[in-house]
Amino acid sequence: MSGDNNSDPSAPYFNSIGTPTEVAGESINFTVVANDPNGMNLTLSFDGNLGPNLNPFTAGASFDTFSGNFTWATDVNDAGTYSVRFIATNNAVPPQSSHVDVTIRVLSLTEVGQTLYIMHCQNCHGANGAGGSASLVQCSTEISIREALGLVQGVGGVSAMSGIAGQMDSPTSDIQAIAYFLQNVNPTPNFCGNN
Ligand code: HEC
């Protein structure tokens, strides 16, 4: 019930939703559960037009006021911070209502890739892939990173890099994000021939 605006003990209240966070391109799904202390019937409604954060509904999200299901298949361009207010109203006379404001974060692949690059690669390959004790890796592709990490059968990995893949939470998507970062970090147009 954290975040409810109405502290009246007889007002509806919400189960905690937290801060849903996903990488752009992934789906965000959660269920809004509202309760009434006196067992009254509740009606859910919503408002995405809160500002200054973005409105998830104009970006393609939907909310089912009967089931309480919020669903949004984000696309790669949806990175940003969004807000939505969920409102629960009971059928008391007069009706009582509460609302909870939820922040939804959609992370850009570049942001995710940068965090992972700093964690796993920067020590040797320098800031933004520009090179350090090891060569520059700007523009590296997913497959070249997989090879260097020793994840491609028949290709000997770089011995200095052995063990890194084992420290990643999910190597496939982590490497994808790192490659995306390395291909898009250089501000010079078309530096990697990809844009
Ligand atoms: C402990 C140091 C170290 C770390 C950490 C490290 N590397 Fe390397 N990497 C090397 C060395 C050494 C080479 C061999 C070539 C060289 O000397 O630069 C190499 C080679 C590569 C190559 C092949 C480059 C080429 O020119 O063929 C790629 C791609 C690469 N690394 C990407 C990464 C990525 C992405 C990460 C993070 C996931 C990473 N490396 C982490 C040391 C490291």
- Bridge partner list, 35: 13
pLDDT of residue 184: 86
Query: Are 51 and 2 spatial neighbours (Cβ–Cβ below 8 Å)?
Result: no
Ligand 1 center–CA 182 separation, angstroms = 13
Task: Show the ligand 1 pocket: residues with CB < 6 angstroms.
Answer: 120-121, 123-125, 134-135, 137, 140, 144-145, 148, 158, 160-161, 164, 178
- Bridge partner list, 106: 22, 80
Are 93 and 152 contained in the same domain?
no
pLDDT of residue 192: 87
Overall average pLDDT of the 55-72 stretch: 98
Ligand 1 center–CA 135 separation, angstroms = 7
Whose C-alpha lies nearest to ligand 1, atom 22? 148
Residue 18 located in a structural domain: yes
Query: Are 106 and 22 spatial neighbours (Cβ–Cβ below 8 Å)?
Result: yes
Are 89 and 161 contained in the same domain?
no
In order, the DSSP letters of 42-90 are: EEEEEE---SSSB-TTTTT-EE-TTT-EEEEE--TT--EEEEEEEEEEE
At residue 2, what is the residue type?
A: S
- In the chain, how many domains are there? 2
Q: What is the pLDDT of residues 90-128, one digit of tens each?
A: 999 999 999 999 999 999 988 899 999 999 999 999 999
| Structural domain boundaries, residue 156 | 110-184
Name the band, by pLDDT with cuts 50, 70 and 90, for residue 194: low
Are 114 and 103 contained in the same domain?
no
pTM of the model: 0.71
Residue 6 located in a structural domain: no
Residue 19 located in a structural domain: yes
Are 18 and 101 contained in the same domain?
yes
Which atom, in ligand 1's list, is nearest to the CA of 131?
18
Ligand 1 center–CA 76 separation, angstroms = 27
